[in-house]
Amino acid sequence: MTHEQIQTAQDMAEKVTNDLGGAGLFGVEFFLTQDEVIFSELSPRPHDTGMVTLISQNLSEFDLHVRALLGLPIPVIECAEGASAVVLADKDGTNPSFTGVEAALSEPGVDVRVFGKPTTRAYRRMAVALAKGPNALARAREAAGQIKVVV
């Protein structure tokens, strides 16, 4: 994102969350076109799309949410290059298991979070692969591609 796109998104997010009020972390998502930043959705809690913070920051979205709710201090947030890629189910089922997790975790700087959902449906997010460091997005996508949801 360009500096201008980031500023536009931050301004929109601030307006929406200030109008809602409350405390905690809000996940505010946007679509980007060549010329526009378009509001997409808001979740008033940590969200799976923010799980990249588990690998890219010293304080994750979960840490920040709890600190905000409890009124605890939030020091400087240190960020590093990081990315996430989802692992999707491809059909309906129950009691899923996963293959390829060990292979995904063999790459240095890669981690995997399995959500523990008891049922699947096509395109349901079931896990996320996280990567940090150079080429984080490509590495997260490669790790996610190694994991299969079995029902």
pLDDT digit string, tens, across residues 20-55: 988 888 889 999 998 899 999 998 887 777 889 999
Structural domain count, the chain = 2
Angstrom distance (rounded) from CA 19 to CA 27: 15
Question: Is 127 within a domain?
Answer: yes
2 in Cβ contact with 8 (< 8 Å): no
Say what the pLDDT of residue 48 is. Answer: 76
Angstrom distance (rounded) from CA 5 to CA 33: 10
Question: Is 75 within a domain?
Answer: no
Angstrom distance (rounded) from CA 61 to CA 143: 22
38 has which bridge partners? 31
118 in Cβ contact with 89 (< 8 Å): no
CA 97 to chain centre: 21
Q: Are residues 8 and 65 in the same domain?
A: yes
CB under 8 Å to 135, separation ≥6 — which residues?
A: none
Domain that holds residue 49: 3-70
Say what the pLDDT of residue 24 is. Answer: 87
Q: Are residues 23 and 63 in the same domain?
A: yes
Phi-psi sector, 123: left (phi>0), alpha (psi -120 to 50), beta: left
For residue 139, the domain's CATH number is: 3.90.1170.50
Of 49, 70, 91, the one marking the end of a domain is 70
- Going residue by residue through the chain, which has 151 residues, state the pLDDT in tens, using 9 for 90 and above: 889 999 999 999 999 999 998 888 888 999 999 889 999 999 888 777 788 999 999 999 999 999 999 999 999 999 999 999 999 999 999 999 999 999 999 999 999 999 999 999 999 999 999 999 999 999 999 999 999 999 9
Q: Are residues 86 and 63 in the same domain?
A: no
**Amino acid in position 54:** L
Question: Is 76 within a domain?
Answer: no
The tokens of 22 are what? Answer: 């409350």
Q: Are residues 15 and 57 in the same domain?
A: yes
Q: Could you tell me the pTM of the whole model?
A: 0.80
The tokens of 37 are what? Answer: 């930043």
